[in-house]
Amino acid sequence: QVQLVETGGGMVQAGGSLRLSCTADGGTFSSYAYAWFRQAPGQEREFVAAISWSGATTDYADSVRGRFTISRDNAHNTVYLQMSSLKFEDTAVYSCAAGPTFRGGVIPRGTYWGQGTQVTVSS
């Protein structure tokens, strides 16, 4: 069982930056791939970014590529999402996920989820 806790959300003006953190407890951190998903009110959950177990491979949604960066620190069991040049449409609850792979943004069976953290971008 893997427990994920996200921190770092908040309110920021458009054009600003935020860094989200996801700390994992339980399981073997380095054996999982990690991803960030987001869900805005009234909308379906959407893929944001993913990183492989080794950190060698990353993937991004077209809407955030070039603005967001996902990274991981296996020594501290933490995954980060650095968000820059934030837009109003980035406003959502951001959730961290751990699983065997998130290739193509597909959520595999057995994925673990955090509780989410709110990001609000004011225009």
Average pLDDT, stretch 34-41? 97
Helix (H, G, I), strand (E, B) or coil at 89: helix
State how far the Cα of 80 lies from the Cα of 3, in Å rounded to an integer.
16
Query: Which tokens hold the place of 26?
Result: 């339980």
Query: Is the model's pLDDT at 30 over the cut of 90?
Result: no
Question: Which pLDDT score is estimated for 44?
Answer: 96
pLDDT tens per residue, range 48-103: 999 999 999 999 999 999 999 999 999 999 999 999 999 999 999 999 999 999 98
Query: Is the model's pLDDT at 123 over the cut of 90?
Result: no
Are 67 and 85 spatial neighbours (Cβ–Cβ below 8 Å)? yes
* Beta strands 117-122; 10-13: pairing state: parallel
> What is the chain's mean pLDDT, rounded?
95
